Amino acid sequence: MNVPDVSLIVPVRQEAATLGRFLGSLATLEPGPAEIVICDGGSTDASPDIVRRWASVDPRIRLIEDADAYPGRARNLGILAATHEWIALTDAGTIVPPDWLHRLIEARDRSGRADVVYGTYEPILESPMQQAAALAFLAPARLDGGGYTRGPSTASMLMRRSVWDAVGGFPEHLRAAEDLVFFGRVARTDARCAAAPKAAVQWQLPSSIHAVFRRFRVFSRHTLRAGLGGSWHYAVVRMYLAALAAIVLALVHSPWWLLLPGLGFAARAWIGIWRRRPPAGPAIALRPETVPLTMLLLFVIDVAMFLGLLEWAWGRKKRYEAT
């Protein structure tokens, strides 16, 4: 059974390792969308071939290929090609439960007049690294719509096509943070929003320190390009400037000043771990092996943020010199 007025849009790029698992989960949706539009943004791996194989047995699946598309452009191309009023969004790195679309539609219909429905996501925790990653940077869960939600996120949402039209679509020049810009634009319209805490997809977290570093280096640079650096970069820069001041005081006054940055970083880590603990309880947050790994990831994220900041500043300098 398919929902006659819903198109599902999925951006894809270099997802060969997880794409089969993701498409297999879409096949279990009950009900499913009337069509599934997958936009490949220039993959050089087997992603397009995997989609074509699935499309050969599922006529709802359509593949759109673009030479080099960031996620925002891929979503825009998919929505432009969609033929239905309601647009569902998720990401190729997720696993979608069978009742996911039903839960989004249920929240839409229950609210009566919703234009946008935000679902949620929960991390896949298959290793200590993924557990630490969840505690280091996952959005905290909060009560909304009668249950716990994270986000909003393009990993789980449903909206009228007119909402996408009204805000001018997703920014196409950003590799990351394009969703944050989009959500900000939606919040400034009169679109009516509803929460669907039961529409939860499973989200794949990075499984290595290098993957975390690479992700946040890109996120840092493009968050600044999006004009959203004030909520992250400034706070971290201030923290490290305070630590530098404490180190200087330790050199000229007393070594006891070195306790200040250490205690500050530990307090920051514990506060973050507690805020991001799973809604069901703090069991993961209190595992002995998780805390030091989470603190290491926080430091790695800080280093990645600073490198992204420098790359962004250098890029601005080069653009200024070129004008």
Set out the domains of the chain in order of their start, with CATH numbers: 2-203 (3.90.550.10), 209-322 (no CATH)
- pLDDT (tens, 9 = 90+) of the chain, 323 residues, equals 778 899 999 999 999 999 999 999 999 999 999 999 999 999 999 999 999 999 999 999 999 999 888 999 999 999 999 999 999 999 998 999 999 999 999 999 987 889 999 999 998 888 888 888 988 998 888 888 788 898 899 999 999 999 999 999 999 999 999 999 999 999 999 999 999 999 999 998 888 999 999 999 999 999 999 998 777 899 899 999 999 999 999 999 998 989 998 898 888 888 888 888 776 544 555 566 678 888 899 999 999 999 999 999 988 777 766 66
Residue type, 299: F
Of 17, 5, 149, 175, the residue nearest 92 (C-alpha) = 17
Which residues, listed in sequence order, are joined to residue 64 by a DSSP beta bridge?
A: 39
Structure tokens at 155: 């990993």
What whole-number distance in Å separates Cα of residue 239 and Cα of residue 320?
A: 29
- Are 201 and 93 a contacting pair, CB within 8 Å? no
Structure tokens at 23: 């498409």
Q: Residues of 181-199 as b/e, b for ≥16 C-beta within 10 angstroms?
A: bbbebbeeeebebbbbbbb
Q: pTM, whole model, 2 decimals?
A: 0.89
Residue type, 77: L
Angle between helices 259-275 and 233-252 (to 10 degrees): 150
